[in-house]
Chains A and B, each alone.
Chain A
């Protein structure tokens, strides 16, 4: 957003300065007209962006914040007439003392702890392998890894639901033949099972991001490292990886934000596993609060809490890596 704004304002600012230093009345008018045209163009071009920003982001966020602070209350048992009141932090207090919400946050934290490193390191490793040239049939490998990303999340969850469900899953049957009992949807296996679905879906996509970044690494640098005697592993880890650092940060942030909003996979798996409750993740909690409990104050407060957590964590990641960057420069 920032980049768009600055480029658009910089261009009109530069043009008038280039005109004659002693402005005549007509020159001034022409300049103003030109400036107005440019502003109009900028306005027209940016309107769709801001219109969408306002309608699909700012208004919903504002509504959520509003709903979390105001409520149609009926005092006592709740059967009296409703009146709208400012309830302060009541909804937030309720959310933050709800063990099911805190449990959901815990689940997502565990999910991120498993998923984030596996995803970033896995995608990077695959990209480095592809880039190193040891892989035959590179295009085919890329396609195979990327293809799952083209499958919508809900279909992916259905496919894996089939593979996870005892009685119909060929995988479980295969294990059973070897006398191994596996329960993919048990108490301790359910989070790893969801991580597996997410990895399958997104690994290829992030690998492509890293691969594209690696393509931009100047070949002279690689050649220099080879001349200096670095083997392929060392080249990959100590030369290429630092050079695609920006991509790693970006993929980490996007993956984190995506992971915090965990919803589709557990929602669908909950149909067949009692281990996934209706409030398994914060997003499922919000959905449940709004649509089965008709408790909009609670849902809104939980949404704001999740939003704040997401912003804080993203900021934390940016800040942390930013500092590391500047230290490196020094």
Chain B
């Protein structure tokens, strides 16, 4: 049985799973007719995002032809992505899945995410930030619809900044000076943490500096994780690490929680979403934090990368792609969807449809940030998102290799530039074994 599902079927047969996947093995964008008049089409939706249940409830209350069955799954790193690819292999994937941006190309190549080009209406296309849609579009085909896009910003402790007489740095040089100063004046405090589990943060720094880790413009995957802008960023952070001017440990750890909770670290460099996450995690620090734009390399032509953000994909196996798309469109662009999501707790996500910003801004309690209009700031920063960036076909693997190497740098072995090279070398065999055309030109 040659074709799309052959490997999937072999594995499914081995696992003695009924071959339902092979039955629905039609490919292409002409999905099974869904909107049967007079009946209700049911679609299934998997997500790890907070507030998804509320969104689904709101949708089901207001819609009659399409009803959504929601299932909360673990987040990607906790097994959510493995669950999705296993389900797709066994032929029982949901109609709609949630993917973070770095995962989109991989799931598209594996034939899990469906080509949505013909299903995305022009109206929806116009409402989405072009940089966000650009991250889910390959060979001019759209494989997922962005929900939020998160420009990286600098969250800082206004009280401690005042204490040490600091102002938010406008350039990275200034930022490095401040790091040295904080280290000198308060030996147990640091300006910032370099996360050893932070490929996504590092990618965002490199993105801002103009790096292009993956490029498909020449019809092949060009991989250059250690291009000139990335090396510049790596050297910059290496200096800070060598001088012990920054903390170096995992950010997803109790240690990092303690560093933030005890006021040992003065800034957090992360996506816009982290403002809401901080409010939920540490209500006691109310009023101490403010948010500023990320420092720049060149203040003349400012740029930022994104850190975080999610998209929705319709799976190849879905029998009701139109119905699935109706729910997705509502979810990413209707004010009621955002209101429902925000009802589950504080959230500061920056919607990929900027038309929804007033809804988010209105619902957001500004008192935690001393009355600062953070959405106005996010709005300005989102416009600066660099357009050159693409994620690669196997980002989880690239991420693991890079972070394993970062961790060794934290243990005093190797350097950040070597980590980039290790990630490059650990990524190429994967892409080659998948049969993709690859090149390794670098600047």
A-B interaction: yes
Q: In the assembly, what is the distance between CA of A90 and CA of B436, in Å?
A: 11
Which segment, of A94-102, A119-127, A235-243, A311-319, faces chain B? A94-102
Contact A87 B435 (CB under 8 A): yes
**Known interface pairs A63-B10, A76-B219. Does A187 touch B426 (Cβ–Cβ under 8 Å)?**
no
Contact A295 B7 (CB under 8 A): no
Q: Is A23 an interface residue (CB 8 A)?
A: no
Which segment, of A66-74, A147-155, A196-204, faces chain B? A66-74
Looking at the complex, which one of A74, A77, A187 makes contact with B413 (CB distance below 8 Å)?
A: A187
Chain A residue contacts of B432, Cβ below 8 A:
90, 93-94
Q: In the assembly, what is the distance between CA of A83 and CA of B6, in Å?
A: 9
Chain B residue contacts of A301, Cβ below 8 A:
433
Contact B435 A71 (CB under 8 A): yes
Contact B82 A292 (CB under 8 A): yes
Contact A78 B2 (CB under 8 A): no
Contact B109 A99 (CB under 8 A): no
Contact B401 A100 (CB under 8 A): yes
Which segment, of B43-51, B225-233, B260-268, B389-397, faces chain A? B389-397
**Known interface pairs A77-B138, A274-B196. Does A99 touch B426 (Cβ–Cβ under 8 Å)?**
yes
Which residue, A63, A75, A82, A295, has most C-beta atoms of chain B within 10 A? Answer: A82
Looking at the complex, which one of B404, B433, B437 makes contact with A91 (CB distance below 8 Å)?
A: B433
Number of A residues, CB within 8 Å of B: 45
Looking at the complex, which one of A67, A274, A279, A295 makes contact with B434 (CB distance below 8 Å)?
A: A295
Looking at the complex, which one of A82, A186, A294 makes contact with B4 (CB distance below 8 Å)?
A: A82
Q: Is B38 an interface residue (CB 8 A)?
A: no
Chain A residue contacts of B411, Cβ below 8 A:
186-187, 274-275
Looking at the complex, which one of B82, B115, B219, B433 makes contact with A295 (CB distance below 8 Å)?
A: B433
Looking at the complex, which one of A67, A84, A85, A275 makes contact with B407 (CB distance below 8 Å)?
A: A275
Q: How large is the interface on B (under 10, 10 to 19, 20 to 34, 35 or more residues)?
A: 35 or more
Contact A298 B435 (CB under 8 A): no
Report A61 CB to chain B, min CB distance, Å: 13
Chain B residue contacts of A75, Cβ below 8 A:
435, 437
Chain A residue contacts of B404, Cβ below 8 A:
274, 277-279
Chain B residue contacts of A292, Cβ below 8 A:
82, 396-397, 400
Q: Is B23 an interface residue (CB 8 A)?
A: no
Q: What residue of chain B has the Cβ atom nearest to residue A275's Cβ?
A: B411
Contact A82 B108 (CB under 8 A): no
Contact A77 B408 (CB under 8 A): no
Q: In the assembly, what is the distance between CA of A76 and CA of B343, in Å?
A: 45
Chain A residue contacts of B429, Cβ below 8 A:
94-95, 97-98, 101, 298
Chain A residue contacts of B14, Cβ below 8 A:
63
Q: In the assembly, what is the distance between CA of A98 and CA of B397, in Å?
A: 13
Chain A residue contacts of B162, Cβ below 8 A:
none
Q: In the assembly, what is the distance between CA of A95 and CA of B432, in Å?
A: 10
Q: Is A49 an interface residue (CB 8 A)?
A: no
B402-443 contacts to A (CB < 8 Å): 404, 407-408, 410-413, 422, 425-426, 429-430, 432-437
B358-401 contacts to A (CB < 8 Å): 393-394, 396-397, 400-401
- Mark B109-147 against chain A: 1 for CB-CB distance below 8 A, else 0: 111000100000000000000000000001101010000
Looking at the complex, which one of B27, B220, B397, B410 makes contact with A293 (CB distance below 8 Å)?
A: B397
Chain B residue contacts of A99, Cβ below 8 A:
422, 425-426
Q: Is A291 an interface residue (CB 8 A)?
A: yes
Chain B residue contacts of A87, Cβ below 8 A:
435
Extra inter-chain contacts (6) besides given A77-B109, A278-B401, A289-B430, CB under 8 Å:
A71-B433, A74-B436, A79-B109, A83-B2, A84-B7, A97-B429
* Sampled A-B contacts (16; CB under 8 Å): A71-B7, A76-B220, A77-B436, A81-B4, A87-B435, A90-B432, A94-B432, A97-B429, A98-B425, A187-B413, A274-B404, A275-B411, A277-B404, A288-B400, A292-B82, A298-B430
Please name the 9 residue pairs, one residue from A and one from B, whose CB atoms are nearest each other, closest first: A274-B407, A277-B404, A98-B429, A73-B435, A94-B433, A78-B109, A94-B429, A298-B433, A293-B397
- Chain B interface residues toward A at CB < 8 A: 2-4, 6-7, 10-11, 14, 27, 82, 85, 106, 108-111, 115, 138-139, 141, 143, 196, 216, 219-221, 250, 393-394, 396-397, 400-401, 404, 407-408, 410-413, 422, 425-426, 429-430, 432-437
